Amino acid sequence: MRGELKEPMGPIFTDAERLLAAAGDGPLVAVGDVVTYHLERAGVAPDVAVVDGLTKREEVEDRVAEGVARLGGESREVRVENPAGAVSGELARELKAAIADPEPTVLVVSGEEDLATLPAIVAAPLGASVVYGQPDEGMVLADVTDEAKAEVRDLLSRMDGDSDALFEILDAA
């Protein structure tokens, strides 16, 4: 499934201001330290940021870590465990709660946040925007639509693990 996951789920932007102008009116979810940093630099605090201190499996640069830390100082911070190449129940629960919370939230992942885009699209309301990094290309803007949710559900259902339990968490009111 690596090939499917490498295909961007929306347009790629290299400029945060242009991305923000194209984003929907719903909640803004940022997945990744570098994406979160660029949004923060553009003066926007995402409603939810999911970070792990890494980019391309290496520690982020100090300026990125400092930008994320500035954002964290203005938001509720929640720490979660999530192993590489997986979506833990804990990540799914906290992501769902963070999206529903009117207070901005930074989810700090111990492990890896690379797949957090998928449950974010399922959990977010229609009209939301999920932004994630496309390595060496820019930031992908994934609009949360019925079609996007269906595509992501299909991807998740074909992954190893208990997708029914994951959907139960993400669909809970």
Binding residues for GTP: 33-35, 52, 113, 136
| Domain total of the chain | 1
**Residue 9 counted as domain residue:** no
Question: Domain range for residue 48?
Answer: 22-171
Residue 164 confidence (pLDDT): 87
Give the global pTM.
0.91
**Residue 43 counted as domain residue:** yes
- For the cut 70, the answer to whether the pLDDT of residue 149 exceeds it is yes
**Residue 77 counted as domain residue:** yes
Residue 3 confidence (pLDDT): 58
∠ at Cα 37 (166, 29), nearest 5°? 30
**Residue 6 counted as domain residue:** no
The phi and psi torsions of 167 (rounded to 5 degrees) equal -65, -35
Nearest CA among 150, 36, 51, 47 for reference residue 96: 47
DSSP secondary structure string for all residues of 57-109:
TEEPPHHHHHHHHHHHHTSEEEEEEE-TT---HHHHHHHHHHHH-SS-EEEEE
8-state DSSP, 112: -
**Residue 3 counted as domain residue:** no
**Residue 141 counted as domain residue:** yes
* Residue range 86-133, pLDDT digits in tens: 899 999 999 999 999 999 999 999 988 889 999 999 999 999 999 999
Binding residues: 33-35, 52, 113, 136
**Residue 79 counted as domain residue:** yes
Q: How many CB atoms lie within 10 A of CB 146?
A: 8
**Residue 16 counted as domain residue:** no
